[in-house]
Amino acid sequence: MIQNISVIGSGIMGSGIAQALAMGGKGVKLYDVSEESLQKAYSGITKSLSRFVKAGRMTEEEAQEIVANIVAVTTLEEACKDVELVIEAVPENLALKEEGVAGKEEIDKAIRLGLNYPMGPFELADYVGLDTMLFASQGLTEAFGERFRAPQALVKLVEAGHLGKKTGKGFYDYTKEKEGVKR
């Protein structure tokens, strides 16, 4: 079971997520680039918990334990160290979002370990066949609209004939696997 979680972004959403996780007994690292933002988040969490105490829903000691479960950090390295899950809650600003972009390997690993799935989404797409994934996406786009449009990376791979395991290349390169060496 996941016990240690990092929340990237300490705004209203991030601090709310951190508080909810800490109330559930999880260890939380709350990350922001600004100490001032972290202080504001702690203030909001403390204020929220005091309302629970005043309403008789928890004791002052329980509120203090919840706050103690939240550790403020100002570096991404520290935020991601020794945690099993990272939740991104930064504003819809591309420059901020790119700070936390993960590669296909990290995404597949997170899905395998975090959800206990046998493979991640990129591995699964390669296994199913990228042409099949593109065909399914096109059908969904026709039926349900643009939100199901295939990503350009998928379209380009299919156009190049990289269809996944069946051709030896897709999101991953399987040609070395055939020579006895795994990716």
Work out the angle at residue 84's Cα, subtended by the Cα atoms of residues 19 and 2, and round it to the nearest 5 degrees.
Answer: 65
From CA 164, how far away is CA 171, in angstroms rounded? 7
**What confidence score (pLDDT) does residue 102 get?**
67
Q: What's the rounded mean pLDDT across residues 76-91?
A: 88
Domains annotated for the chain, with CATH where assigned, are: 4-101 (3.40.50.720), 121-178 (1.10.1040.10)
From CA 29, how far away is CA 18, in angstroms rounded? 8
**CA quadruple 101, 107, 109, 115: dihedral, nearest 10:** 120
**What confidence score (pLDDT) does residue 179 get?**
58
The per-residue pLDDT for range 52-68, each reduced to its tens digit, is 999 999 999 999 999 99
The per-residue pLDDT for range 138-182, each reduced to its tens digit, is 999 999 988 889 989 999 999 999 999 999 999 999 998 665 544
Q: Quick check: 173 and 183 in contact, CB under 8 A? A: yes
Which pLDDT band, with edges at 50, 70 and 90, does 88 fall under? confident
**What confidence score (pLDDT) does residue 183 get?**
46
**What confidence score (pLDDT) does residue 98 get?**
62
Q: Which residue has the higher pLDDT, 131 or 100?
A: 131
Tell me the average pLDDT of the chain: 88
Q: Is 179 helix (H, G, I), strand (E, B) or coil?
A: coil
